[in-house]
Structure 1
Amino acid sequence: MRKIQRFSFRKIFSSSLKPTLKRPRPFQAYSFVPFNPLAMLDPTILTIGGIVLGIAIIERILERWGVIDLVDQFAKVMRFILPVIFYGALFYFFATFMF
């Protein structure tokens, strides 16, 4: 008859054989492009945006009232002024934004 040798589970897998878990050291990451979304809340940019939104609302109201001739003249003027306002605000934003 064969002799059977028994080992306990704790004896085979003792705690001394466990590899020690080393946590990685925390490191600081720096961004090369500092951008804060709250920088878009500049009062000048918000004022220009409010004016443009107000102009669009006034144009819609005039269209509902049926003053189509005035709306056409308004649209012709805005076709030139709105891109100028947009690019001016964009230039202002990047000129005053601190990099």
Structure 2
Amino acid sequence: MRKTHDIGFRNFLHQPFFKPSPNPRPFKAYSFVPFSPLAMLDPTILTIGGIVLGIAIIERVLERWGVIDLSDQFAKVMRFILPVTFYGALLYFFATFMF
């Protein structure tokens, strides 16, 4: 049976009656978000990103060289390819990511 201990209000405010235990108990921490930035290093996503980046660089080089017609054709194609590639890679990433 535990003993009860009366503490006055002034003593409660000014004296620490809580004594921490000498050996704190270990506890397990769990994460509900199993996300790692290293998961973005998927070879498929890196390959798709490299291809899109290469096409964008080719477009800029053609623009500098003065081949505006071909550069405009690349720009028209990229307006369609970039969003489709981004959402496709995002869908692929979440479909293959192990939760």
Aligned partner of 1:86 in structure 2 is 86
Aligned partner of 2:34 in structure 1 is 34
How many positions carry a matched residue from both structures?
81
Q: One-letter code of the match for 1:67? A: V
Q: One-letter code of the match for 1:50? A: G
Tell me the CA shift for residue 96 of structure 1. 0.3
For residues 48-72 of structure 1, give each alpha carbon's deviation from its aligned partner in whole angstroms, at most 9, with x where no partner exists. 0100110111011101100011111
Aligned partner of 2:74 in structure 1 is 74
CA distance in 1, matches of 2:20, 2:85: 63
Aligned partner of 2:65 in structure 1 is 65
CA distance in 2, matches of 1:28, 1:82: 44
Aligned partner of 1:25 in structure 2 is 25
Q: One-letter code of the match for 2:71? A: V
User: How has the CA–CA distance of structure 1 residues 84 and 20 changed in structure 2, closer, same or farther, with 3 Å as cutoff?
Assistant: closer
CA distance in 1, matches of 2:39, 2:52: 20
Aligned partner of 1:45 in structure 2 is 45
Q: One-letter code of the match for 1:75? A: A
User: How has the CA–CA distance of structure 1 residues 27 and 20 changed in structure 2, closer, same or farther, with 3 Å as cutoff?
Assistant: closer
Tell me the CA shift for residue 23 of structure 1. 4.2
Please report the TM-score for the alignment, with normalisation by the length of structure 2.
Answer: 0.75
Tell me the CA shift for residue 37 of structure 1. 1.3
Please report the TM-score for the alignment, with normalisation by the length of structure 1.
Answer: 0.75
Gaps of 5+ in 1: 1-18
Aligned-residue CA RMSD (Å):
1.5
Whose relative contact order is higher, 1 or 2, with alpha carbons under 8 Å and at least 6 apart? 1
Gaps of 5+ in 2: 1-18
